[in-house]
């Protein structure tokens, strides 16, 4: 079974305004409310791929109920810890450029944090846990370490999709996959990356630090997949980018879901790129027919 963990979910409130004027009255052309949070995005795309999964993390208040009801409507199993505060709302204002206003999220108590740890104690050998996104300040910077410790105790695999120190701390524990984009990879090592060869060099450093697979997205330039045995490149399919939210999460879903179903890393890489691209070209997250359409035009080449 695949589990996704979202520590700070949200309702993503997407608002389109033709000519936004700060300080004036603005009227929406269109708005959309979607369940947000990196792990929740992974669950929704896994569901499109018909890969069984359970979404967990923290939800609270009327906003949390909205997310839980949405997932249930889509047929996604969930097992969230209910918290006292309201799950946050993130505003995505589209008016020419996109402006984001992200909520802080609720305070998570020690009791609520321990309740999530207890839920993961039901993991079994071979399960995969996807840990995605930022850690709420109330949980402390090392909370992912506590969740990873449970995964290791239960002999479950884990995927980590975060940045900075939490990612660096997780590498020593041998994550199944890490997925920085090329900007995040450069930031992680405090360097400037200008070439594909430099991406491969620093991607291999993540392997040396403990990661088992490294997937680096390069937007319109495609993606690189780096293992101990080989380096693969996949082209980016052509299309109009509509959605900057969730493409990386969709890539993880496509990769992890296909790897768990087939064991084929190259096919998992192809599915990951197809899923990420399908989301980038859609208003919401990728739907299966579009993923399959793009999968057929993606070429994976060993470098």
Known catalytic residues?
249
Helices marked H in the chain — which ranges? 38-48, 61-73, 110-120, 143-153, 164-171, 182-189, 196-209, 247-262, 265-280, 288-295
Strand 10-16, strand 88-95: pairing: parallel
Tell how many helices (H) and how many strands (E) occur in the chain: 10, 15
CA 76/CA 125 separation, integer angstroms: 22
CA distance readout (Å), 43 to 46, 129, 272: 5, 11, 14
Token pair in block for residue 233: 């490149």
Nearest CA among 74, 49, 75 for reference residue 271: 49
CA 207/CA 202 separation, integer angstroms: 9
Per-residue b or e along 55-93, where b marks 16 or more CB atoms closer than 10 Å to that residue's CB: bbbbbbeebbebbbebbeeeebebebbebebbbbbbebb
Q: Are 66 and 91 in contact (CB under 8 A)?
A: no
Nearest CA among 212, 213, 170 for reference residue 188: 170
- State the DSSP H helix or E strand holding residue 223, giving kind and residue range, or none if neither: strand 223-226
For tokens 């594909």, name the residue: 196
């Amino acid at each position: 079974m695949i589990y996704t963990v979202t520590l700070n979910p949200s309702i993503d409130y997407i608002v389109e305004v033709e000519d936004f004027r700060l300080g004036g009255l603005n009227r929406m052309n269109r708005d959309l409310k979607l369940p947000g949070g990196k792990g929740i995005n992974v669950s929704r795309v896994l569901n499109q791929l018909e890969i069984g999964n359970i979404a967990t993390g923290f939800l609270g208040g009327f906003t949390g109920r909205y997310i839980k009801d949405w997932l249930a409507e889509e047929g996604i199993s969930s097992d969230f810890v209910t918290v006292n505060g309201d799950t946050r709302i993130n505003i995505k204002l589209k008016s020419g450029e996109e402006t984001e206003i992200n909520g802080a999220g609720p305070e998570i108590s020690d009791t609520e944090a321990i309740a999530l740890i207890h839920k993961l104690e039901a993991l079994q050998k071979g399960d995969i846990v996807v840990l995605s996104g930022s850690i709420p300040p109330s949980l402390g910077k090392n909370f992912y370490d506590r969740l990873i410790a449970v995964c290791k105790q239960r002999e479950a695999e884990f995927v980590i999709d975060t940045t900075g120190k939490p990612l660096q701390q997780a590498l020593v524990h041998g994550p199944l996959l890490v997925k920085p984009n090329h900007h995040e990879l450069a930031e992680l090592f405090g360097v400037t990356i200008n070439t594909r060869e430099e991406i491969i060099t620093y991607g291999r450093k993540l392997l040396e630090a403990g990661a088992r697979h490294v997937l680096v997205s390069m937007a319109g330039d495609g993606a690189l997949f780096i293992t101990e045995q080989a380096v693969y490149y996949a082209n980016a399919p052509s299309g109009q980018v509509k959605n900057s939210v969730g493409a990386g999460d969709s890539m993880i879903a496509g990769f992890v879901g296909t790897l768990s179903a087939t064991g084929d890393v190259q096919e998992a890489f192809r599915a990951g790129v197809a899923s990420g691209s399908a989301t980038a070209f859609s208003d919401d997250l990728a739907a299966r027919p579009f993923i399959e359409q793009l999968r057929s035009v993606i070429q994976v080449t060993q470098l």
